[in-house]
Structure 1
Amino acid sequence: MDRQAFIDKLHAKLDEWNAEIDKLEAKANQAKAEKQAEYREEIQELKQKKQDAKSKLDEVKASSDAAWQDLKAGAEEAFETMKEAFQSARQKF
């Protein structure tokens, strides 16, 4: 996979996660008061992990053609962590 295809793939994932966070926030708003705090904490954690993944993507975008391969593994790891966090959150909601 070339650099631009990799960047496009990760951008698409970020867009998907933004939509997923919006859905979870809507569910949290409809939840009973005692669950809302728990849901909001989970959502905040997802947002932080999403920001971490976006930072890794930004590093890949800013890197030279020669250096982006070195950053690819870190970006993939951040996105995998985010994927796992979403799977966990879906189970809780």
Structure 2
Amino acid sequence: MSTKDDYIAKMKSQLDSWSAEIDALEAKANDVREDAKMKYAEQLAALRVKREEGEQKLVEMREAGESAWEQVKAESEKAWAAFKDSVQAFQAHYKA
């Protein structure tokens, strides 16, 4: 397996993990105080958008030729970091 394939597999695994965390947060939505439900739902929607962006980055990485691979990888790492930060901030805010 190439370094590219290894990296894509690692990112796919991480994305799956974060998707499971989002699903768990969605399941806890009923436990949120009524006055906070709207904000909670908005933040979950934003996390879903970031997850979709991560899935798109996976597609881009798979399709990237060797000449574009390093650039796509660098862009993807920025997207992963933003997604990870968003999930962690959400969890910290709601003590999930």
Tell me the TM-score normalised to structure 2 length.
0.89
Query: Could you list the runs of 4 or more consecutive aligned residues of structure 1 that deviate by over 2 angstroms after TM superposition?
Result: none
Match of 1:57 in 2: 58
Deviation at 1:85, TM superposition (A): 0.3
One-letter amino acid of the structure 2 residue matched with residue 26 of structure 1: A
Mapped to 2, the partners of 1:73 and 1:46 lie a distance apart of 21
Aligned length: 93
Match of 1:10 in 2: 11
1:15-71 deviation per Cα after TM superposition (whole angstroms, max 9, x unaligned): 101110111111112222212111111100111111112111210101123321221
Tell me the TM-score normalised to structure 1 length.
0.91
What are the within-5 Å matches in structure 2 for residues 1-93 of structure 1? 2-93=3-94
Mapped to 1, the partners of 2:89 and 2:20 lie a distance apart of 16
Aligned-residue sequence identity (percent) comes to 32
- Give the aligned CA root-mean-square deviation in angstroms: 1.3
In structure 1, runs of 5+ residues without a counterpart are none
Mapped to 1, the partners of 2:67 and 2:3 lie a distance apart of 11
Mapped to 2, the partners of 1:90 and 1:32 lie a distance apart of 15
